[in-house]
Amino acid sequence: MEFKNDLGKPWKYEEDGYTVIRTSVWSPPGCHPVGCGLKLYVNKDGILEKVEGDENDPITKGRLCVRCLDLKEVIYNPTRVLYPMKRDPKYRGQADKWERTTWEEAYEMIKQKREYVIENYGVEAIAAFSGTGRNGGIMVQEFAHEVLGTPNACYTQSGYACYTPRAAATAAITGCYYPEIDYAGGVEGTYDNPDYKIPEVVVLWGKEPLPSNGDGLFGHALIDLMKRGTKLISVDPRVNWLATRSAIHLRLRPGTDTAMGMAWLNVIINEDLYDHEFVENWCYGFDELKERVADMTPEKAAEICEVDAETIRKAARMYANAAQAGIAWGLAIDQNQNGTQAAQCILSLIAITGNLDKPGGQLVGEAKAAEPAVDDDMTSTYAATGHQLDGWAALGEELRNKTIGMKEYPLYVNSIRNAHADLMLDCLLTDKPYRIVMGMIQSTNIFAPTNSAESKKWHQALKRLEFVFATDVFMTPTIQACADLFLPLKCAPEHNSINYTHYSGSQIHFGITNKAIEVGECKSDVEIAVELGKYLGREQYIKRHTDEIAWLNNRRAQRNLIGGGKEDFYTIREKVHIQQGRKYYKYKTGHLRPDRQPGFLTSTGRVELYAYMFEGVGADPLPYYQEPPFSPHSTPELAKEYPFILTTGARTYAYFHSEHRQVPLLRELNPNPLIEINPEDAKELGIVDGQWVEISNQFGSAKLKAKVMPTVRKGTVMAQHGWWFPEQDGNEPNLYGVWQSNINTLIPNHYNGSLGFGAPYKCMICKVTPLKENYDVDMNEIQEKFKKVVD
């Protein structure tokens, strides 16, 4: 049948009494920067009546996940905070003590407190804490360095165990930004573009892109590729749905990825399956790498990873023999003390097989030219570089050196311009090396179990601050317990913005978020940065980034995006979706270096399989396998008491981390926190499907509902993260039940890798105890309580 479509419609048009706004959204509510295209149908009263996927989006073509489909239940949720609110610090933890205030008064409170802190403690006594998946999250450095003037921006997850470890390893080894698989997102006509080639093989390594869409990779592009012939290899302890559609699945023991990676290198090098041309001309340290992986035979790795040696060989061969292949490497690499070395192995695999910057291989972004030619048709730049560097530089060396963790982990601190998370927690609790007095909680629910380890310590730590202001959409346990001022944020349909795949670091997509509606007195992160910056007398907001649009124009220009930032926001908004175009083999043309010389932006100009950058900070320059800090092998005595391996962090379609629990329709998809357990283990412990259990270890405990699944390895349990219960009592000590199912209370701090990155979120140990009690939520109550306020 033939159907109508809206292809070619302008960014704004009228239809059936609605104004329809086409937009590309990225949070709030949280998501990765996929920038999916939406059509927002706004009625005469300015109410958003309907959300549809926009078929003009060149990548999604109108498809949407459940979270945008149900966006109205977020926007018009009766518990959303619509006005600035304040509360006397002596009433922290008391839900009924908030009072409505004005933005003016809120800014004044921040100003006074900041001046008091600067005078009595120094500006470094202010910290700005961020989370993940909000477009404001990547502004934390700006809030810290440029608005507040402190060096202490801090992403609070132990070992910054999300993305940054992978990105930092990539920068150190290749001088490039994150290498994403090439799914043709950046080129016109996508899969049909003549310069593009379909990857013959995609390896899913510790990544389940369908629900996660990590860093803007449109997960279901994998399905598009499979329809066009791509074969999959899965490297994952669990059988997820994609693994059932994979040609090979390596169900490795959690946390042993580096051994697996070294074995692949061993096979590919010893069987002479590598790309000689690329290795000779563009790699440094191949012989050293060869020597290092010589001992890690498939047999040895098979023993460590508990898989079959022959299957390791087959997988390595299948990857290396493909004409072009990609590795989609995920969070599992970061959430591992040995993760930097796993990243090193994967980068080495990508390089020695010649898949780096090849059509259908692995995408890397282009470097900004030192002196850009006027007509330089540059398509993208390294993410983050150029973005907030100016603020970091402007702090001055003395202040930068005061960043918590600068002495211990300089590569961590300098590469992401953040205080080290685990050391920040110590600092908050002990006032050493100095006391932190004032905090900003920026779009993050710190101790709901996503972005912290030993979450109860973070609770204690944040309560020690004298003054805390927070930005968010909903009241959270963290804000309820620790904050004194709540600044309400706009959701995606309410602000203007720009989003980029990989935060601008890949040549894929960038999208324009077009404002369609207003709700309450909410403001966007950008508006808050600009207004607060001005209020605090910060010069660049008074002179340069004077409003939301000026900010967007300037920041976009810094990122050197399409048109070199020459067209202004009002012009580019009409395009809504922009594919960045791409150049392949940039190492040959000089487009990976600011000086436009061929090669890579490293000290040797080559991909450093032998990582000088690691050596420079006293770390091993070559990959090595290290057993997880807690495991049947490293802590055999403890493992008797805690016989299960605990993995966390797997994603669901319904939720973005700790968000969306108050959205009735999404909650109905997954009403209770689940833990997957193998049928044999369940039987031994007398646990039936749907029964509540308690998991515990030497650090903490959590209650979850068992889902008996043959897809998890025997001896391993997989627990959902992010849980709290907005329907429960918000007062201390209950705090919306944030401790009931808080799996991060079982994860320790300070088990980071040698560079300060990584933490064992996906390879801890625990025991499992069946419970008699039933904590099932009543969905009718949820529907009643959170039913949207408009129809």
Partner 1 sequence: MAQYGLLIDYELCTGCQSCEVACKVEHDFPVGKWGIRVFDDGPWQKDDSNDEGSSFNWNKIPVPTDLCDGCEDRVNAGKKPTCVHHCLADVMTFGTLEELSKELAKKPKQVLWVIK
What are the residues binding ligand SF4 (CB under 6 A)? 25, 31, 34, 36, 64-65, 67-68, 213
How many residues interact with partner 1 (rule CB under 8 A)?
56
Cα dihedral sign, 99-460-451-782: negative
- Binding partner of 34, given ligand SF4, partner 1, none, CB within 5-8 angstroms per partner class: ligand SF4
Cβ 561 to ligand SF4 shortest distance, Å? 19
Q: Does 241 bind partner 1 (CB under 8 A)?
A: yes
Residue identified by tokens 């000689």 is: 276
215: left (phi over 0), alpha (psi -120 to 50) or beta: left
3-state secondary structure of 732: coil
CB nearer to ligand SF4: give 68 or 153: 68
Dist. CA 33–CA 501, nearest whole Å: 6
Nearest CB to ligand SF4, comparing residues 206 and 214: 214
Q: How far is the CB of 42 from partner 1 (least distance, A)?
A: 16
Closest CB 36 distance from ligand SF4, rounded Å = 3
Q: Which is nearer to ligand SF4, 57 or 236 (CB)?
A: 57
Q: How far is the CB of 342 from partner 1 (least distance, A)?
A: 20
Write the binding mask 668 to 707 for partner 1: x where contact by CB under 8 A, - elsewhere: xx--------------------------------------
C-beta atoms surrounding 162 within 10 Å: 22
Check residue 66 for interaction with partner 1 (CB under 8 A): yes
Distance between CA atoms of residues 513 and 203, nearest Å: 32
Cis omega (within 30 of 0) on the bond before 710?
A: no
Q: Which does 1 bind (CB under 5 to 8 A by kind): ligand SF4, partner 1, none?
A: partner 1
25 binds, among partner 1, ligand SF4, none (CB under 5 to 8 A by kind): ligand SF4
Using the minimum distance from each CB to ligand SF4, give the nearer residue, 67 or 251.
Answer: 67
Least distance CB 74 / ligand SF4 (angstroms)? 10
Nearer to partner 1, 3 or 637 (CB): 3
Residue 212 burial by Cβ neighbours in a 10 Å radius (0-12, 13-18, 19+):
buried
Residue span 251-290 as binding mask against partner 1, x where in contact by CB under 8 A, dash where not: x---------------------------------------
CB of 492 to ligand SF4, least distance (A): 8
Tell me which of 11, 47, 62, 317 binds partner 1, using CB under 8 A. 62
Pick one of ligand SF4, partner 1, none as the site partner of residue 75 (Cβ within 5 to 8 A by kind).
none
Residues 6+ apart with CB under 8 A from 706: 674, 675, 677, 682, 687, 688, 689, 690, 691, 692, 693, 770
72 touches which of partner 1, ligand SF4, none (CB within 5 to 8 A by kind)? partner 1
* Binds 585: which of ligand SF4, partner 1, none (CB < 5-8 Å by kind): none
Our CB check for ligand SF4 shows the closer of 67 and 253 to be 67
Burial of 4 (0-12, 13-18, 19+ CB in 10 A): exposed
Task: Give the nearest distance from C-beta 34 to ligand SF4 in angstroms.
Answer: 4
Greatest Cα pair distance in the chain: 72
Beta carbons of 605 and 595 less than 8 angstroms apart: no
Q: In the stretch 643-662, what mask flags binding to partner 1 with x, by CB under 8 A?
A: ----------xx--------
| Contact partner, 165, from partner 1, ligand SF4, none, Cβ < 5-8 Å per class | none
How wide is the angle at C-alpha 91 spanned by C-alphas 90 and 95, nearest 5°?
A: 165
* Minimum distance from residue 226 beta carbon to partner 1 (Å): 7
Kindly give, in sequence order, each residue whose CB lies less than 8 Å from that of residue 291, ignoring residues fewer than 6 positions away: none
Q: Which is nearer to partner 1, 218 or 282 (CB)?
A: 218
Distance CA 212, CA 236 (A): 15
What is the C-alpha to C-alpha distance for residues 326 and 240, in angstroms, rounded to an integer?
A: 19
Question: What, of ligand SF4, partner 1, none, does residue 249 touch, CB below 5 to 8 Å by kind?
Answer: partner 1
Burial class (CB in 10 A: 0-12, 13-18, 19+), 133: buried
Q: Which of 70, 215, 627, 727 binds partner 1 (CB under 8 A)?
A: 70
| 3-state SS record for 22-80 | EEECCCCCCCCCCCCEEEEEECCCCCEEEEEECCCCCCCCCCCCHHHHCCHHHHCCCCE
Residue 698 burial (CB < 10 Å; 0-12/13-18/19+)? Answer: middle
Q: Find which of ligand SF4, partner 1, none residue 31 binds, CB within 5 to 8 Å per kind.
A: ligand SF4
Residue 599 to residue 592: CA distance in whole angstroms? 7
CB of 495 to partner 1, least distance (A): 23
Which phi and psi (to 5°) does residue 513 adopt? -90, 120
Contact residue for partner 1 among 321, 460, 701, 711 (CB under 8 A) = 711
User: Going residue by residue from 200 to 239, which x/- string records binding to partner 1, judged by CB under 8 A?
Assistant: ----------xx-------xx--xx-xx----xxx----x
Q: Are 326 and 202 in contact (CB under 8 A)?
A: yes
Closest separation in Å from C-beta 116 to ligand SF4: 40
Residues 507, 512: Cα–Cα separation, whole Å: 16
- Least Å distance between CB 33 and ligand SF4? 8
Q: How far is the CB of 308 from partner 1 (least distance, A)?
A: 5
With H, G, I as helix, E, B as strand and everything else as coil, classify residue 205: strand
Structure tokens at 482: 């620790």
**Phi, psi (5° rounding) for residue 339?**
-70, -35
Q: Which one of residues 8, 90, 371, 780 is an interface residue with partner 1 (CB under 8 A)?
A: 780
Q: Which of 118, 140, 154 is nearest to 536 (CA)?
A: 118
Closest contact distance (angstroms) between CB of 71 and ligand SF4 is 8
Question: Which residues make up the interface to partner 1 (CB under 8 A)?
Answer: 1, 3-4, 51-53, 61-66, 69-70, 72, 210-211, 219-220, 223-224, 226-227, 232-234, 239, 241-251, 307-308, 311, 314, 653-654, 664-666, 668-669, 709-711, 779-780, 782-783
